[in-house]
Amino acid sequence: MKTASERMRERMNTRRVMTSISLRIPENVIEDLKEIAPSLGFSGYQSLIKAYISEGLRSDLERLDGSQVQALTESLRKQGVADELISNAIAEAGLKTA
């Protein structure tokens, strides 16, 4: 698995492959995003959503980078264990990810 800094460098690449997704979000949340996006310097609410996702993802990647749970997760992935099963086991065991 790549380190957090390697993943960050990849995210800075402007030639990244993009994909469209469908996401259900309450209408009032979308209206709030549309209202505050311009005041935060974003061209639209979708850019703001991407910024929020990126910020949370960066934070989690930094927090998890090098943790014992991450090492265990990678080992289980190499052995063919599905991510959903790994997540369920971590939650069931009450393991902390930081």
- Does this model's pTM top 0.85? My answer is no
Q: What is the pLDDT of residues 52-61, one digit of tens each?
A: 998 998 888 7
Q: What is the pLDDT of residues 53-83, one digit of tens each?
A: 989 988 887 777 767 777 888 889 899 999 8
**Domain parsing of the chain, residue ranges:** 1-14+24-65, 66-98
DSSP annotation string for the chain: ---HHHHHHHHT-TT-----------HHHHHHHHHHTGGGT-SSHHHHHHHHHHHHHHHHHHHHTT-HHHHHHHHHHHTT--HHHHHHHHHHHT----
